[in-house]
Amino acid sequence: MQQCVSLPHVLRVSALTPVFVQTGNDLLLDANGADCSEDGVLIFWRFNEKDNLVRLTCHKDREPTVNKLKYPERTEITEKTSLKLKNCREDFTGVYSAIRISDENEVVAKYNVTVKDPVSPAHLKVDSVFNSSDVCNLTVTCSTDHSSVSSSFTCGKETCKQDNGQQTDTSQQGNVLHVYLSDESVICNHSNQVSWANSTKRIELILEIIMCHNKSIFIPVYRDLCFCFFWKFFFKLILCFIPKVQLFKRSNANRKLHVWIIISIS
């Protein structure tokens, strides 16, 4: 049978501190150095202002006596007066208070605990790449299982910029999906207060392989080569067209071998 404990009127109240913990992890709540070195002093840990979880009976020359009153499998007392919540679940979410009962009653610590699941993986996909004589433009989509956000980027000879600024999507659960530019990389980040996941692609590598013509011929193109169309004829001859070499044998009366090299440029 649960022991019913009535607490006296509390005169002093500590500020409420928000705390987030990932599902399945332990959480340690400190009693803010509450003094438990006097005989007769009591410290209670209370859940949601109504459920007394643990009662500590303080002693002058020894460790306090611990009595677990409710949800004993959830809690553990460490460091004399701190409360550990074990293997946190969603129903652990709520307000936890440490109340010191003596001549002057005080809420010495108060926490608003939220238990949250870790975020799902983030995925970054390149939707399109457009190359002109002056700049390169690319569009990407940052997504998770339940949300997505798109953004476009423009790269000149020296720098890249995000056309529409950093793009963010926030879910009802408080998870944030964010796509942004950092150190010439596009970063897709999915996060909440307890975890994060991201996917990163360097712009240089995104542009490294592009279709240079209407054939299935791909060439390496780094950022400075985004201007290959500016040097149209020169780079077409050197980079954009890969010769196809075909060898044909031809015999004549003297059985000499003639090799015709046909270079196909189209």
Q: What would the pLDDT profile of 84-112 be if each residue is shown by its tens digit?
A: 999 999 999 999 999 999 888 899 999 99
User: Are residue 137 and residue 104 in the same domain, yes or no?
Assistant: no
pLDDT tens digits, 16-25:
999 999 999 9
Q: For 40-50, how does the pLDDT look when each residue is reduced to its tens digit (9 = 90+)?
A: 899 999 999 99
Is residue 7 assigned to a domain?
no
Residues 119 and 171: their CA atoms lie apart, in Å, by 11
Same domain as 89, residue 23 = yes
Q: Which band of pLDDT confidence, cut at 50, 70 and 90, is reported for residue 199?
A: very high
Domain boundary among 64, 86, 116: 116
- Provide the pLDDT confidence category of residue 13 given band limits of 50, 70 and 90: low
In this predicted model, which residue has the larger pLDDT, 251 or 202?
Answer: 202
Sign of the Cα torsion 85, 91, 93, 96 reads negative
Distance CA 109, CA 219 (A): 64
Spatial contact of 87 and 24, defined as CB atoms under 8 Å apart: yes
3-class SS of residue 169: strand
Residue 162 lies inside a defined structural domain of this protein: yes
Q: In the chain, how many domains are there?
A: 2
Tell me the pLDDT tens digit for each residue of 121-173. Answer: 999 999 988 887 778 889 999 999 889 999 999 988 778 899 988 888 988 78
Q: Return the DSSP state at 23.
A: T
Within a domain: residue 6?
no
- Are 64 and 134 members of one domain? no
Tell me which of 100, 116, 132 is where a domain ends.
116
Residues 184 and 128 in one domain: yes
Is the pLDDT at 120 greater than 50? The verdict is yes
CB atoms within 10 A of CB 210: 18
Please, which pLDDT band fits residue 70 given cuts at 50, 70 and 90? very high
Gyration radius (Cα) of the chain, Å:
34
List the domain range (segments joined by +) for residue 110. 12-116
Quick one: tokens of 257?
Answer: 């071998």
Closest listed residue to residue 85, CA positions, set 35, 21, 13, 16:
21
- What is the residue-averaged pLDDT of the chain? 78
The structure's pTM equals 0.68
Single-letter residue type at 37: S
Q: Are 203 and 186 in contact (CB under 8 A)?
A: yes
Q: Assess whether 145 and 173 both reside in one domain.
A: yes
Q: Are residues 155 and 187 in the same domain?
A: yes
Answer with the one of 91, 116, 141 that is the final residue of a domain.
Answer: 116
- With beta carbons less than 8 A apart as the criterion, state whether 110 and 104 touch: no
Q: What is the pLDDT of residue 5?
A: 45
